[in-house]
């Protein structure tokens, strides 16, 4: 029955001129995806001559790139239980995302089911009215005026990192230090979100960070892109570890919530306090019979969502920023000139107002996120039959946009689309730039992430010069997000 439904949907897409690789009975194209990936992995291990190649899509997602070259920017393929529509046409991507406000498009159910231990049923995973309700409560806490109030704690955390790296230089002779930066950046990002979200209970937040990271590593061993639990299923032992981590994370978050019980929410409120207030008001106003367990689940799930999205993606983006700036020291120099221009005349400390003047730093960050967007995909499922541009998308079809491919389209970005060139953002951004998604499901933490990245880059570049260590090996890896496969190793010196 499932095979027949997939076949019927495929025929509906083919009748509209959409082609794709021929599926096999029961497995669709999943076996072919595995075969193409295995060939690509073998070739990569044999040919490691190129030091840094920014177009990594052909190694991380070789089946998508192979089919795109054969069938164009719109094609269809099948996995065990699903028919998929691959879309990298800019106008269709824009319309697909803008339609997410309706109940016709949502997050693919088979993927969100797998992510439940990490994200619960929070805003990153939910659809329809539940998603709209959560967005109503959570979104206002990430408006820019809220983020500006967090600049001080972000600066404080990055300054602690700078002190740590200065200590490395002293311990390695006082001139230069070789540093593996990724874990340090993760710790700083976790420190920021812990203090922003958990306030006085931020040590609980740090424990949540450690357990979420362990959970992420376990869950990234399965490849959900193949579309079925038959590929990359957890072992019984892994499943027990995942369940235990899930319980421990929820317990730590709820423990922090209970510490707020009876508190007077005055003065500066952290994210958890603000979400608690919004949830209490919303649950009471709706008068829909929500019980304590639903309220608890809402708070815990959305704290997990904020914590994962708030620290993981930002830390990875910061790693890519430093890697690219190490490769391009002329842009380090341009940022330092901006430091002198913005801060030195008045001896000002970096604050929300001075952040708005960082044009060069902002251009660099946009270019890093163009080449290395932490989120590799925009994914949607047609919950009802819907129309996107000229295409009628049948109910049940999963739509995929590979963001790095869209970000490297030479027709949009020019012949140097695979090169690092922040100057391309001197006049702002284009519609084909979607590292945070588009439309109503635009990442709620966009402003938070961009401000934190500006502070990372500004302060580190103002204090150090750095280059890539000879030990660095460029190997982007897809582990739910695109991150360095091996740590980013830098040689740093004081300015």
Q: 338 versus 288: which is more confidently predicted?
A: 338
Other CB atoms within 10 A of residue 47 CB: 8
| pLDDT tens by residue, 411-442 | 999 999 999 999 999 998 877 899 998 777 88
Per the structure block, which two tokens stand in for 93?
């991507």
- Mean pLDDT over the full length of the chain: 84
The whole-number pLDDT of residue 265 equals: 45
**pLDDT at residue 288, rounded to an integer:** 46
Tell whether 443 is in a known binding site.
yes
Question: How many CB atoms sit inside 10 A of residue 316's CB?
Answer: 24
Distance CA(98)–CA(107), nearest Å, equals 14
**pLDDT above 70 for 20:** yes
Is residue 399's pLDDT more than 90? yes
Q: What is the pLDDT of residues 44-90, one digit of tens each?
A: 765 554 556 678 898 899 999 999 999 999 999 998 788 999 999 88
Question: Looking at residues 474-493, what average pLDDT do you find?
Answer: 91
Tokens of 436: 């945070």
**pLDDT tens digits along 142-183:** 888 888 888 988 999 999 999 999 999 999 988 999 999 998
- What pTM was computed for the model? 0.90
Whether 358 shows a pLDDT value over 90: the answer reads yes
Q: Is the pLDDT confidence value at 403 over 50?
A: yes
How far is the C-alpha of 176 from the C-alpha of 45, rounded, in Å? 32
446-484: burial string, b at 16+ Cβ within 10 Å, e else: ebbbbbbbbbbbbbbbbbbbbbbbeebebebebebbbbb
* Residue range 388-408: mean pLDDT, rounded: 93
Residue 221, pLDDT score = 61
Question: What distance in Å separates the CA atoms of residue 421 and residue 310, rounded to the nearest whole number?
Answer: 27
Report the range out of 146-150, 187-191, 292-296, 356-360 with the highest average pLDDT: 356-360
| pLDDT tens-digit series, residues 180-200 | 999 899 889 888 887 877 765
Instruction: Provide the pLDDT for residue 19.
Output: 96
Fold of the domain spanning 2-494? Cytochrome p450 (1.10.630)
**Is 398 in a helix, a strand, or coil?**
strand
Residues β-bridged to residue 398: 84, 381
Instruction: Please provide the DSSP assignment of 71-115 as one string.
Output: H-SEEEEE-SS-EEEEE--HHHHHHHHHGGGSSSEE--HHHHHHT
């Amino acid at each position: 029955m499932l095979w027949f439904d997939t076949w019927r949907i495929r025929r509906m897409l083919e009748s509209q001129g959409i082609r794709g690789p021929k599926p096999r009975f029961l497995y669709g194209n999943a076996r072919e995806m595995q075969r193409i990936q295995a060939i690509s992995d073998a070739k990569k291990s044999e040919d490691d001559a190129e030091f840094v190649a920014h177009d990594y899509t052909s190694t991380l997602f070789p089946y998508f790139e192979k089919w795109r070259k054969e069938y164009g920017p719109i094609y269809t393929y099948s996995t065990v239980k699903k028919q998929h529509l691959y879309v990298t046409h800019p106008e269709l991507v824009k319309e697909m995302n803008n339609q997410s406000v309706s109940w016709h498009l949502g997050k693919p159910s088979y993927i969100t089911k797998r992510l439940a231990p990490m994200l619960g049923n929070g805003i990153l995973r939910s659809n329809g009215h539940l998603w709209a309700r959560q967005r109503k409560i959570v979104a206002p806490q990430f408006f820019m005026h809220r983020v500006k109030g967090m600049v001080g704690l972000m600066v404080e955390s990055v300054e602690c990192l700078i002190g740590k790296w200065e200590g490395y230089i002293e311990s390695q002779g006082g001139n230069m230090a070789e540093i593996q930066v990724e874990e340090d950046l993760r710790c700083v990002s976790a420190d920021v979100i812990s203090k922003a979200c958990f306030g006085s209970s931020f040590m609980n937040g740090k424990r949540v960070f450690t357990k979420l990271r362990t959970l992420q590593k376990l869950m990234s061993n399965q490849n959900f892109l193949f579309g079925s639990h038959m590929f990359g299923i957890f072992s019984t032992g892994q499943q027990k570890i995942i369940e235990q981590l899930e319980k421990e994370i929820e317990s730590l978050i709820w423990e922090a919530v209970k510490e707020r019980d009876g508190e007077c929410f005055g003065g500066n409120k952290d994210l958890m306090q603000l979400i608690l207030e919004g949830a209490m008001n919303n649950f009471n106003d709706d008068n829909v019979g929500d019980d304590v367990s639903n309220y608890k689940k809402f708070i815990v799930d959305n704290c997990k969502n904020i914590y994962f999205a708030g620290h993981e993606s930002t830390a990875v983006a910061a790693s890519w920023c430093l890697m690219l700036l190490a490769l391009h020291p002329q842009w380090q120099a341009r940022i330092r000139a901006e430091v002198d221009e913005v801060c030195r005349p008045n001896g000002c400390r970096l604050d929300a107002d001075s952040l708005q003047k960082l044009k060069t730093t902002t251009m660099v960050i946009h270019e890093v996120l163009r080449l290395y967007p932490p989120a590799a995909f925009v994914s949607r499922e047609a919950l009802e039959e819907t129309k996107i541009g000229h295409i009628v998308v049948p109910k049940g079809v999963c739509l995929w946009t590979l963001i790095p491919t869209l970000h490297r389209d030479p027709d949009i970005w020019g012949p140097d689309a695979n090169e690092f060139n922040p100057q391309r953002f001197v006049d702002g951004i284009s519609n084909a730039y979607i590292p945070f998604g588009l439309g109503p499901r635009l990442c709620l933490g966009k402003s938070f992430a961009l401000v934190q990245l500006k502070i990372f880059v500004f302060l580190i570049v103002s204090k150090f010069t750095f280059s890539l260590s000879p030990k660095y090996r460029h190997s982007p890896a897809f582990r739910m997000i695109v991150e360095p496969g091996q740590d980013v190793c830098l040689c740093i010196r004081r300015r």
